[in-house]
A and B are shown apart, each in its own frame.
Chain A
Amino acid sequence: MSVETLTICGIVILLAPLAGAVLSGVLGPRLLRGSTHWLAIGGVGLAFITSLVLMGQVRGAPPDGISETVSVYNWITNGTDAVFRVEFLIDPLTAVMLITVTGVSLLVVMYSRDYMREHGKPERGYERFFAFLALFVFSMCALVLGGNFLLLYLGWEAVGLCSYLLIGFYYDRPAAAAAAKKAFLVNRVGDFGFGLGILLIFLTFGTIEYGAVFHMVQEGVTGSGDPLATGRVTTIALLLLCGACGKSAQLPLHVWLPDAMEGPSPVSALIHAATMVTAGIYMIARCGAIFTASPFAMTVVAVIGAVTALFAATIAITQTDMKRILAYSTVSQLGYMVLGVGVYAADSAIFHLFTHASFKALLFLAAGSVMHAMGGIIDVRQFGGLRKVLPWTFATFLAGSLALAGFPLFSGFFSKDEIIHHALMVHPILGVVGLVTALLTAFYTFRMVFLAFFGRQRVPEGVHPHESGPWMLVPLVVLSIGAIGAGYVGIGADGGVFHRFLTPVFAHTFAAHSPASAGAHGVPVVEHVGFWAHYGLMIISGAIAFVGIFAAYVLYLKEDWLPGLIRSIAPRAHRILWNKYYVDELYDAGLVEPARQTGRVCVGLDDYLIDGLLWLITAIPRAVGYLARTYQSGMLQGYALTMVVGIAIIVLLVFGA
């Protein structure tokens, strides 16, 4: 294993999808058309295989773990010797992220081959779709591979662009165009903070290279050797958190993600569930050194995560659009992950990211399959009892739902439990919030399952439901295996393969600072708690999942008059939830409209105040000329009179004095 190998792997992982994207764009429209997907499959597939190779390279590492920064070329020079390079940081975290990203991407690209067709014919923009998808894989890999903050920012913005392009894929639908713009702009608001954070990092440390920055933070010095103030670290961490809130749809910047469902379902699965939205969690985990240096920032992270998890889960209960329910569930699950990193359990958060990627992608793709069968309709009020009609879709959707609901022994159960476990130890209240959210999650997930797949079979008029073809079903089945089995890589006495693999990355950051581990409280909490720490929580959360599912069963299958009753008892609560707490309206009235009004005022100032002043200035010579003109009337009498008056004045002046 050499540096060259790593560099080449990194370059291949980046260039293969990029080449796929460019070639799809160039060759697709004229030459390939309906077979353009092969370019994307080839590019992403190659990236996936290379990621596996890279994983192997990283695994055969020294005990304290491999963490190589390899430089490719000088990107931007800035007058100091800290040149901004194109460089990769390759360590276990990178490898895990790459596998997740390229793996899910490959399945989604395959799925899209059939999904993006109508009656076997490629949809309009077929090649554009695959070009954007491959471009996304490139951007996400750049984000993950980047070895400094500027490359992180590059990937960060580039995935945002791909998200913009793909949400707006059906651009002639106004809702899609608006949602795309909203996604980009809300992310820009987050990136405002993120960019300022990067500038502050450079200002403080004189470099933006991960290794150097993290080293200095851990040593507690700035770039000039002065001691590093905690306030400065906190500011940096909070600014970075802004970016994470935007990208990972955390409060208060969560508003774009539900709207992003205007994009095609594969896009929702890949970008808005499995990969891009987890970039924020990746970033916080990557910057563990910075975040853990500021307990305050960590608390903020944990609180935002927990509150978002609960907040989004409550909204999901009332929604009826399957994709929107899933979107709010994604926001909620991302909240769990953020909570995870906030309570010093970054490896658990990444573990949840990993399992979530498989089961949430699965759910979206299965929902896409439903949508495909229902002729584009996705509102659970309009169909039901699809269990018989779409058996494969149903089975895979059920697997995903069980994982999402945290049903015992499914993947989501293990990963979510770990996070709640750590939360209970660090911030018990937030742990309880996590448990409540788990109850809601199980409830809304199975509300959706029961409404769509159980009960009396009904489909929208004129729709002839049909099960999807193998291109769509194979990815579903593969992801189901992940949803069921992905949890088992992360359990065991010493944390399982997954945690062992990641240990070196977080050993000096999250693990070392965690109040839950040996450090802060003196006694290791794990031993202190004993049995309950290991199995008690599992029992409790398993029970919670059962309760949630049972409640959904009662309300939506057994006694289906109950929801209406509840709604009529608490109409206001329902209306608030249905309208998503009016956050969009608040932003519109509080930010967007005032800004536009200010813009109008600015135009008015330009046209009247500034130009008016100018008019006044130019009016002076004009006025002088106008006045002077009256004396040039050409009337001799006038001239004579003036002359006489003038002479009289002079005479008076000379002789009168």
Chain B
Amino acid sequence: MDSWILTLVIFWPLAGALLLLIPRRGDDVAVRNGALFVSVFGFVLTVAAVVQFNRETAGGVSADGFALAAHVPWIVSGDQESATVDIAYRVGVDAISIWLLALTALLSPLAVWSSFTAIRTRVREYYILLLLLQVGLLGVFCARDLLLFYVFFEFTLIPLFFLIGIWGGSERRRAANKFFIYTLAGSVLTFAGIIYVACFAYGATGGTLTLNLATLTELGQGGDIPANVQWWLFLAFAAGFAIKVPLFPFHTWLPLAHTEAPTAGSVILAGVLLKLGTYGFCRLSIPILPDASFELAPVVAVVAIIGIIYTALAAWVQKDVKKLVAYSSVSHLGFCMLGLFSLKVAGVSGGVLYMVNHGLSTGALFLVIGCIYERYHTRNIDEFGGLARKMPWLAFFLVFFTLSSIGLPGLNGFVGEFLVLLGAATSAGTRDGLAPGPLGYGYVIPAALGIILSAVYMLWMCQRVLFGPLKEPPDTPDTSTGLTQDLTRREITILAPIALCCVVLGVYPAPVLNQFEVAIRQNILRSPASMMHTEIGPPDQGFFDVGVESSVSKQTLSTEFDAVVATGPGSRPALNDDPPSVSTVTTARLDGRNTPFETDASMATDSSATDVIGFNGGSGYER
């Protein structure tokens, strides 16, 4: 049964953008209010989608783990059953997508509203582009077809290119060019990867050229993609995503783009657009390419950690407040990557929560800096200081979001950060019922240095901006556009909901985390392949062979596994009484070995099994 709510959510801003063509030329007020109405209504629609999602998944998730799905054939040859090309408009969400969707929908009315006084030229075009940008972002999070994903993914570049290039600061053209070419260059490689995936799927599925993410995930998790293919695909995907995240050393476009972008552009850029990269890793690389993800995870983690420290140090010496926050963004997203590539429930849910948290706190920080810039027309930290005295509200919000950003317990940032570190530290364990991951405690130590450094540069910034004797550039603050010295009621209303979300997510994140956990187990990490790879090492393990060769023993194992699952997660023995020793480990092993038979009985053939062990490509998809 198709659900249309997601389609409505995605394309409503497009319809709204068309509505903005109606007002007379020069009627900026109508355009502004119209844009605000459109984005607020978009938020309402998203809330409806969230509600419906929760209702649909209340009694357990649907078979493929996605809800609110819709499917419209797009590029098809042949009829439905025996199509040779099956590329479709497929949308659907799981808990990860729906919360990122909600983040996008929350930030965009705030971004629109925050531009009311800042944007004075080409008002109509500005809001239309902002709404179009939203279409792309919302689309990425909903797409269930790789081509659709890519189309939305790339589409986001165009509106942002113009937003930076037209309404940006003094170096806007260079920034827009650099941003566009940098990210495009990466995603071209991603596109090459996508084409390869399509061809590969053609062989593996027996003659259907499909980019259906469900099918691809199934292939990847079933161990049907040989290791060398996975490697190349991983690198191809990573080229686009790593630049988007951005992962060190591909981050140099971001500080420039952030500094030059108008406030709303920065908010959306930091708040949502960067998440496309991490989301791509999380949605595509990890589930579809489990073996390569497992093997390359240490590399990704090391690069992420270098990035955390490198960019944190770079942030510390910035004079431009906005650039400082931009560098902090890079540093923070390193944590996110570290969590995702711990390949553990804790780490991945921490990473996903980190995306949401970072969107909230960094987005809000850019809003606050925008408020300062509008009044003082400079972002140079040396030119103002001691603003707390005249702007108590601004001081409150800046300190608040700083604290959220540096991971003060009780606010949202901490939960994500802690889970990320926890996931990385316990990655080699099996306590969450999954195969051992690739990372370990050693990765946490340097990463935790980043936590000290984030406090260093953020508090340094706060001290310079807010505290000390009052210092203002001459002829400021500029209140000509109807601003007041301290934040206006509008600005407070923009920032307050974000602050509220920060508190709620910090104090009671458990409901969201529970949803994440379901989605992660079902859609991201159900792969046993990485497990088999490590567990088995040299392919001579007796117990594995038993499982493959004898259908009887396979049956037994499966049954055992079922039993474990049935009694398992709900009622594992309490730790304080009975430390789960061997039994848990055994559970995990069974889990690892049998899930392929569980998930897809037809794949449980010798070929797939040997394939996984030996990585002798080919045989997996030539069946």
| Chain A residue nearest to B509 in the complex (CB) | A76
Q: Tell me whether A610 and B252 are in contact in the complex, defined as CB-CB below 8 angstroms, given that A78-B346, A82-B575 are known contacts.
A: yes
Q: Which residues of B contact A222 (CB under 8 A)?
A: 579
Chain A 167-201 interface 0/1 with B at a Cβ cutoff of 8 Å (1 = within): 01001111011101100110011001001100110
Tell me whether A202 and B425 are in contact (CB under 8 A).
yes
CA distance A224 to B436 in the complex (A): 15
Listed in ascending order, the chain A residues whose CB lies under 8 Å from chain B are: 73-83, 150, 153-154, 157-158, 161, 164, 168, 171-174, 176-178, 180-181, 184-185, 188-189, 192, 195-196, 199-200, 202-203, 205-207, 209, 211-212, 215-216, 221-226, 595-596, 598-600, 602-603, 606-607, 610-611, 614, 618
Most buried by B among A150, A157, A595, A603: A603
Q: Which residues of B contact A196 (CB under 8 A)?
A: 444-445, 448
Chain B 299-317 interface 0/1 with A at a Cβ cutoff of 8 Å (1 = within): 0000000000011011111
The yes or no answer to B247 lying at the interface (CB within 8 A) is: no
Tell me whether B316 and A599 are in contact (CB under 8 A).
yes
| Chain A residue nearest to B445 in the complex (CB) | A196
Most buried by A among B313, B419, B469, B507: B313
Q: Nearest chain B CB to A262's CB is how many angstroms away?
A: 12
Contact sample, A vs B, 27 pairs, CB 8 Å cutoff? A76-B509, A77-B510, A78-B513, A79-B432, A79-B517, A80-B431, A81-B574, A157-B408, A157-B414, A158-B410, A161-B403, A171-B467, A172-B467, A177-B463, A178-B463, A180-B467, A181-B463, A188-B455, A200-B441, A205-B579, A209-B576, A215-B576, A223-B579, A224-B580, A224-B581, A598-B313, A599-B315
Q: Which residues of A contact B419 (CB under 8 A)?
A: 76, 78
B residues contacting the other copy or chain, number (CB 8 A): 76
Which of B314, B452, B520 has a CB less than 8 Å from the CB of A185? B452
Listed in ascending order, the chain B residues whose CB lies under 8 Å from chain A are: 181-182, 249, 251-252, 255, 310-311, 313-318, 344-346, 349, 386, 388-389, 403, 408-410, 414-415, 418-419, 421-423, 425-426, 429, 431-434, 441, 444-445, 448-449, 451-452, 455-456, 459-460, 462-463, 466-470, 507-510, 513-514, 517, 520, 569, 572, 574-576, 579-582, 584-585
4 A-B pairs closest in CB distance: A79-B345, A225-B581, A212-B576, A177-B467
Tell me whether A76 and B579 are in contact (CB under 8 A).
no
Q: Specify the main secondary structure of chain A where it touches its partner.
A: helix
CA distance A438 to B517 in the complex (A): 57
| Chain A residue nearest to B571 in the complex (CB) | A81
Q: Nearest chain A CB to B436's CB is how many angstroms away?
A: 13
CA distance A153 to B410 in the complex (A): 10
Q: Which residues of B contact A603 (CB under 8 A)?
A: 314, 317-318
CA distance A81 to B508 in the complex (A): 17
Tell me whether B252 and A225 are in contact (CB under 8 A).
no
CA distance A80 to B572 in the complex (A): 10
| Chain A residue nearest to B396 in the complex (CB) | A25
Q: Which residues of A contact B576 (CB under 8 A)?
A: 207, 209, 211-212, 215-216
Tell me whether A189 and B452 are in contact (CB under 8 A).
yes
Q: Tell me whether A75 and B425 are in contact in the complex, defined as CB-CB below 8 angstroms, given that A161-B408, A215-B576 are known contacts.
A: no
| Chain A residue nearest to B416 in the complex (CB) | A76
CA distance A596 to B460 in the complex (A): 12
Report how many A-B pairs have Cβ atoms within 8 Å: 189
Q: Nearest chain A CB to B28's CB is how many angstroms away?
A: 35
Q: Nearest chain A CB to B445's CB is how many angstroms away?
A: 6
Q: Tell me whether A596 and B510 are in contact in the complex, defined as CB-CB below 8 angstroms, given that A199-B421, A225-B582 are known contacts.
A: no
Tell me whether B579 and A225 are in contact (CB under 8 A).
yes
Q: Which residues of B contact A203 (CB under 8 A)?
A: 425-426, 429, 441
Q: Nearest chain B CB to A609's CB is how many angstroms away?
A: 9
Tell me whether A171 and B444 are in contact (CB under 8 A).
no
Q: Nearest chain A CB to B162's CB is how many angstroms away?
A: 22
Q: Which residues of A contact B459 (CB under 8 A)?
A: 164, 181, 184-185
Tell me whether B432 and A224 are in contact (CB under 8 A).
no
Q: Which residues of A contact B513 (CB under 8 A)?
A: 76-78
Q: Which residues of A contact B310 (CB under 8 A)?
A: 602
| Chain A residue nearest to B449 in the complex (CB) | A192
Q: Which residues of A contact B582 (CB under 8 A)?
A: 224-225
Which of B314, B441, B444, B470 has a CB less than 8 Å from the CB of A602? B314
| Chain A residue nearest to B348 in the complex (CB) | A79
Tell me whether B452 and A223 are in contact (CB under 8 A).
no
Q: Nearest chain A CB to B6's CB is how many angstroms away?
A: 27
Tell me whether A599 and B389 are in contact (CB under 8 A).
no
Tell me whether A224 and B585 are in contact (CB under 8 A).
yes
Tell me whether A78 and B410 are in contact (CB under 8 A).
no
CA distance A164 to B426 in the complex (A): 32
| Chain A residue nearest to B516 in the complex (CB) | A77
Q: Nearest chain A CB to B399's CB is how many angstroms away?
A: 8
Q: Which residues of A contact B460 (CB under 8 A)?
A: 181
Which of B403, B569, B580 has a CB less than 8 Å from the CB of A223? B580
CA distance A82 to B330 in the complex (A): 32
Q: Which residues of A contact B572 (CB under 8 A)?
A: 81
Q: Tell me whether A206 and B425 are in contact in the complex, defined as CB-CB below 8 angstroms, given that A75-B508, A599-B313 are known contacts.
A: no
Q: Nearest chain B CB to A611's CB is how many angstroms away?
A: 5
Q: A203-B426, A209-B576 are in contact. List 6 more A-B contacts (CB 8 A).
A: A76-B418, A171-B467, A195-B421, A224-B579, A599-B313, A611-B252
Q: Nearest chain B CB to A159's CB is how many angstroms away?
A: 11
CA distance A79 to B507 in the complex (A): 18
| Chain B residue nearest to A199 in the complex (CB) | B425
Q: Tell me whether A78 and B455 are in contact in the complex, defined as CB-CB below 8 angstroms, given that A212-B575, A224-B581 are known contacts.
A: no
Tell me whether B467 and A606 are in contact (CB under 8 A).
no
Tell me whether B470 and A172 are in contact (CB under 8 A).
yes
Q: Which residues of A contact B251 (CB under 8 A)?
A: 606
Q: Nearest chain B CB to A599's CB is how many angstroms away?
A: 4
Q: Nearest chain B CB to A136's CB is how many angstroms away?
A: 13
CA distance A596 to B585 in the complex (A): 46
Q: Which residues of A contact B455 (CB under 8 A)?
A: 184-185, 188
Q: Which residues of A contact B467 (CB under 8 A)?
A: 168, 171-172, 174, 176-177, 180
| Chain B residue nearest to A81 in the complex (CB) | B572
Most buried by B among A171, A184, A205, A221: A171
Q: Which residues of A contact B517 (CB under 8 A)?
A: 77, 79
| Chain B residue nearest to A606 in the complex (CB) | B252
Tell me whether A174 and B581 are in contact (CB under 8 A).
no
CA distance A195 to B252 in the complex (A): 31
| Chain A residue nearest to B456 in the complex (CB) | A185
CA distance A14 to B253 in the complex (A): 47
Q: Which residues of A contact B318 (CB under 8 A)?
A: 603
Q: Which residues of A contact B418 (CB under 8 A)?
A: 76, 150
Q: Which residues of B contact A178 (CB under 8 A)?
A: 463
Which of B425, B434, B569 has a CB less than 8 Å from the CB of A200? B425
CA distance A154 to B313 in the complex (A): 26
Tell me whether B581 and A81 are in contact (CB under 8 A).
no
Tell me whether A206 and B415 are in contact (CB under 8 A).
no
Q: Tell me whether A74 and B316 are in contact in the complex, defined as CB-CB below 8 angstroms, given that A81-B575, A157-B409, A192-B451 are known contacts.
A: no
Which of A195, A595, A614 has a CB less than 8 Å from the CB of B316? A595
CA distance A465 to B455 in the complex (A): 42
Q: Which residues of B contact A78 (CB under 8 A)?
A: 345-346, 349, 419, 422-423, 432, 513
Q: Which residues of B contact A81 (CB under 8 A)?
A: 569, 572, 574-575
Q: Which residues of B contact A161 (CB under 8 A)?
A: 403, 408
Tell me whether A172 and B422 are in contact (CB under 8 A).
no
Q: Which residues of A contact B409 (CB under 8 A)?
A: 150, 153-154, 157-158
| Chain A residue nearest to B573 in the complex (CB) | A81
Most buried by B among A203, A207, A600: A203
Q: Which residues of B contact A185 (CB under 8 A)?
A: 452, 455-456, 459
CA distance A245 to B283 in the complex (A): 43
Q: Which residues of A contact B421 (CB under 8 A)?
A: 195, 199
CA distance A74 to B572 in the complex (A): 17
Which of A177, A211, A596 has a CB less than 8 Å from the CB of B468? A177
CA distance A572 to B345 in the complex (A): 59
Tell me whether B314 and A606 are in contact (CB under 8 A).
yes
| Chain B residue nearest to A207 in the complex (CB) | B575
CA distance A75 to B255 in the complex (A): 35
